Amino acid sequence: MPNEEAPNRAIMGEESLMDEVTGFLRLANTHRTNDPCASMLHCRRALEAIVHHLWIEEYGENPPREMHLAEKMVELERCRRYFSVNRITSSWIHWSPKSSHDRCEIGKCIEHLNLIMKEVVGRVPSIDSSEYTMLDALDRLLSDSGRTVLANGGE
């Protein structure tokens, strides 16, 4: 189901996809305790990047803008794990008055994405990075403290 309106775009290379997904999964892993909804949003973005990559690989162009993620997955015949990640993340990133979440779903979601990446590029992203910037360290300290930090400019 090619898209006549979208301009052709080079296929995101496997290394670029790996970098993109690894970044999203590292963020998901970092925020899984202090902000699980943000963690799931990063998982969802990883899934979207993978599906976009597969679409371009299959059709040689961007998917139609109006096409929903689920439609893309069906068209690409990528269902089981992909829909599992889609279902899990949707319940976390969309508000509902009766929603209750099990934080172990975050780990399941990350594991599904690892298996998807193994299937797509033959490798699993390394999300336990030992490379941290000072900003990463500060972010980790502040998020682990559970306190609000206010920063004022000097006079």
Let me know: does 86 contact 70? Beta carbons within 8 Å.
yes
| Residue pLDDT, tens place only, 78-136 | 889 999 999 999 989 888 787 778 888 999 999 999 999 999 999 999 887 544 555 65
| Residue pLDDT, tens place only, 21-63 | 999 999 999 998 999 999 999 999 999 999 999 999 999 999 9
pLDDT at 77: 92
Q: How far apart are CA 70 and CA 85, in angstroms?
A: 11
| Residue pLDDT, tens place only, 96-106 | 787 778 888 99
CATH of segment(s) 14-127? 1.20.120
Owner of token pair 């998807």: 116
pLDDT at 40: 96
For residues 14-27, give the mean pLDDT: 94
Q: How many CB atoms lie within 10 A of CB 108?
A: 14
pTM of the model: 0.74
